[in-house]
Amino acid sequence: MKSPSDAINFIQCYETYYIPIYIVTREGLKNNSQRSVAEQLMTIAYENGVNLFDTAEVYSAGKAEIILGNIIKKKCWRRSSLVITTKLYWGGKAETERGLSRKHIIEGLKGSLQRLQLEYVDVVFANRPDSNTPMEEIVRAMTHVINHGMSMYWGTSRWSAMEIMEAYSVARQFNLIPPVCEQAEYHLFQRDKVEMQLPELYHKIGVGVVSWSPLACGIITGKYENGIPESSRASLKSYQWLKEKILSEDGRKQQAKLKELTHIAERLSCTLPQFAIAWCLRNEGVSSVLLGTSNPAQLTENLGAIQVLPKITAQVASDIDKILGNRPHSKKDYHH
C-alpha cells in the first residue's frame, strides 16, 4: 500500500501503491461545516480507490476516531474494503492512560474501537518507544490484542531500527507476533532513517515503512518561498518552531533547492507536491505515504502523484540527488 498524509487543522490522508489513503484529525473539527469537509475528503478518497484510513487515540483527544467511525458508518462502506489503523501511547491524563504497558495497550485499543464503532482495526501502532515498559511486555500485549481479534497486525512509529529488531527477536524467542511496519518521517530533506537504517529490516524481516510528512509540514509545497503567508500553518502560534525552521539559514537553502526541483517537476508535467509524494513512493521499502490535506483540491492534487511515479526514472532520481546533495551513503542502491 502506498499513501499520502500530513494534517493542518483537521484531516490527514494516505495514498498507497494500490492507492490507499489515510484520514485523520489532529486538532479537531470545530463545527459541522468542517465535519462535512472530512466526509467529503473521505468520499473522494474512497471513490478514487483509496482504502487505508489512519488515526490515533491522541488526535483531538479521541474526537478524530469518533469522526472517522461516524463517517464509515454513515457511508455504509464494507468493512472488508477498508484498512483502518490507529496509534496508541498518549491516551489520557492519568499515568495509567499512557505508554505501552499491557494495561494501556489493551484498554487503549478497547477505547479506540469504541470510538471508531468497529470490532477491530487492521493495524495498531505503538506511537513511540516506551523505555519504561519491558519489550517483552509490549510484544506480549500486542500479541494478545491480535489473538483476541482486536487488531490484525501491529506496527511501530518513531522507533529506531534497533528497537524494532529487539521486538522482532523477542517475538521469535517467545513465539509471539512481531511488528510488520514502522511509521517514519520521510521526505526530500529527511532521508537517513528510511534509506539507511530501515532497508536492512525490510530485506531481512519484511518490516515495511509507512512514511509521513512527505511535504515536510508544507515546506515542500513552495508556499514559503517568499516568507510566511498569513493563512499558512507556520503562521499559527502553535507552529512557531516551523516558522523558525523556514526562516533559518538551512530553511532558506531548502527553498533555493526547491526552486531548482520545480524545474524537474515542470519537465514531468506535475506540481511540486505531486513530485515530492511520487519520489517517496518510489522507495521500495515504503508501503504507504501519509499526507495531510485540508480541502478537496489538495487531496485531488496529491492523488495525482500516482501518475507521476512511473516518470521518476533512475536518471530523474539522479538529477534530484545532485540538487539535494543529501543522498545517504549506503552499501546498496535501493532505487529502482
CB 100 within 8 A of CB 63: no
Active site residues: 59
What are the start-end ranges of the E strands in the chain? Answer: 12-16, 52-54, 83-88, 121-126, 151-157, 181-185, 208-212, 286-292
Can you give the pLDDT at residue 106?
Answer: 99
12-324 topology per CATH = TIM Barrel (3.20.20)
Q: Please, what sign has the CA dihedral across residues 293, 41, 34, 211?
A: negative
Local mean pLDDT, 10-residue blocks, the chain (336 residues): 35 39 45 77 90 91 93 96 96 94 98 98 98 98 99 98 98 98 97 96 94 91 78 76 82 92 98 97 91 87 95 98 91 51
Can you give the pLDDT at residue 235?
Answer: 74
What are the boundaries of each domain within the chain?
12-324
pTM reported for the whole predicted model: 0.87
CB 159 within 8 A of CB 182: yes
Can you give the pLDDT at residue 36?
Answer: 85
Can you give the pLDDT at residue 332?
Answer: 53
Residue 316, amino acid: V
Residue 15 CB contacts under 8 Å (≥ 6 apart), including other chains: 2, 3, 4, 5, 21, 50, 277, 281, 288, 289, 291, 302, 303, 305, 306
Q: Please, what sign has the CA dihedral across residues 145, 151, 156, 157?
A: negative
Can you give the pLDDT at residue 15?
Answer: 39
